[in-house]
Structure 1
Amino acid sequence: MAPYQYELPTTGAISFTDICIDGTGSYTVALVEATTARANLRSILKEHKHGAGEKDYLRIIKTADGYLPHIYSIIACVTAGELSLRASPVFSWRSTLSSRGFATPSSRTDVPSLYADLAFTLLTLAYAYSNLSSVTLAAIGQYELERTISDAERKAKDEKLNFAANLLARASGVYEHLAEKVLPEWDKAIGATKTERPPELAKVVVTALAKMAVADANQLAIRKLMTRSAYDSTLTPGPPLPKSHPPTSLLGKLYINASSLYTSALSLVNAASPTSNDSKEVNANLRHYLSDESTFCSAMSHRWFGVDAGEAPGRCGEGVAFLAWSKSELESLKESKLKLSVGGKVNKEEKAAKKDRLADELDSAKVFL
């Protein structure tokens, strides 16, 4: 599987020396440095959006990381009274998760408060973590199925697989921090003032993204758990399972946990997506991804529960029922008309990879049946 591919937002220019009042003159250099750091982030996001070729997500991560200490420091100074604001600052960011954002990619949303800029920067960082994970996975390919791979090569790619999973864990941590710390502070800062926010800045949506990142990481952890047995199975496909295979009941439990995370995330996203307002509705691509991954993980859990039951005395009928259930779920996904896309454009490579994964799992289910 490949994690959900986010389109990164872009932002407008702003100068902290223009919006902040430094009564003592102690922070003149710091404000200039903060403006420069933000300009660097704006520049690299603009370059990413309009540039062709391979995307450098690691550079985006480093640039966002470089800006975060500045915006945190400015917020702290304003809170402590060491800096004051000429007026409530308004930052311009482009929403990339709303249905309207996909329909009109050039549209931007004006969001007030320093916390708004912090929130969008954290979102950008988490998106980049997830996308870098996808790039890393694409680079290693399905190495566990290569019959000629050496132990050294497998170990190196195992480490990259771990790295991809860790990136998703970091993304989840950023989302959780945003949902539990930053957004409540933003609410306190603006008080009773009502402001329209894009869907990605709703607490329930950010919480959903955190759950999705954990579920994606769980799938990679399952893949890592099965790398050795997957290689052994390419040499001797079909039952019985190789000795290197992890316990089937454990795999079933891990997959059902991932499925529940996707389902929970989908429920949160749907709750935050009023159909009457495209600007607040989360785009269909993300909702389809959550739905399909939930179904896929459910199918895989039923398969391994079925295999586990089939290997136990007197439970063959139960095993067949689980396997038939799994096969039915996979077939429903095969017929899905989901278009995997980034920025509204169909991603043919990801769509082909999804079809291949479903075909492989269906073939495997038929073998066990």
Structure 2
Amino acid sequence: MVSTVSAFPVAVSLRRLFPQASFVGCANICATDAFENSRDVCPHSLFAVVHGMQVDGARFIDEAVSHGAVGLLVDRPLAGVSIPQCVVPDVRSAFSRVCEALAGDPTRRLDVAGITGTNGKTTTTWLVRNLLERAGRRCGVLGTVEYSDGVSIEPSRLTTPVSRSLAEWLGRMVTRGTTHAAIELSSHALHQGRAAGIELEAAVVTNITQDHFDYHGGYEPYREAKSRVLEIVRPGGLIALNADDPGSWSLRDRVHDSVSFASFGLQPTADVAAQVREESLGGSRFRLSIHGRSLDCATTLIGRHNISNCLAAAAIAFHLGVTPEEIVAGIEQFHCVPGRLERIQCGQPFEVFVD
């Protein structure tokens, strides 16, 4: 059954959102909702005509019209269409911006940290939440394991929600009084522009190695997808790159002067650095340096990759106002993410981990 009620609190003017766009059949389009799937379209909503890898959204325009679509978001004027069209260069990115606006621009009222990278996204995201909440900030999470608005939790469906769901969750965070969010940004999501309409207060690239080449077609397109996270950091926000990882560090020259920059890693010259003192199956001990402050720190997380994750989270937390002492306390209190080198103890005389 077709829905007749929008999930969003406001209507948006596409002329206001996209002043450089061209319009066909109208001077403006005002919509109370937006969809990529024609089956979900409801009256007064916008239908985004996405040209997918296998299916062209133009095939479903008639269905969207029959469900009450008020207009189309397209990347070129389409002939034989009975409703107005807004023509933009990139439909996916524009759709993300529309969803963010429909949700009331929640990322303008949240401090959002976006975490991308081949490895370490989930652990770093959970660490960021833990450091912020230990310091008295309510933090939502969107990622591989779960979605949380800071109060309620649901199982995850995608590492990064689709644009409309992402905007809804961020809007829920604002409604619940949540002040911060830590979200995983997958290469698929960045390439597809799912997060193109949001603003980040901080972004971190944990590392860039080899993954999802079947989708991206090779290392360079994959790296380019990851680099898109730099484009959605607001002026004055933070970009943190891994000084130990060539892939992450290769983005250094793309960091604009309008944002702050921090390096993290085991190199002593990094802004957020660790001098490893001890490593074992019980965790690690290291000397943590944060922009000139140096403190002893311990973690039950195993391996140097997890020390790197701790440093990435520390860089974000420090930018968001968490003190070095609070950061150390948060790292030492944090134990694991479900399914991420998770120790299983049932009295057995050997170690068992789930990863």
Do both proteins adopt the same fold according to a TM-score greater than 0.5, normalized to the shorter chain? no
* TM-score normalised by the chain length of structure 1: 0.30
* TM-score normalised by the chain length of structure 2: 0.31
Structure with bigger strand share is 2
Structure with bigger helix share is 1
Structure number with greater Rg is 1
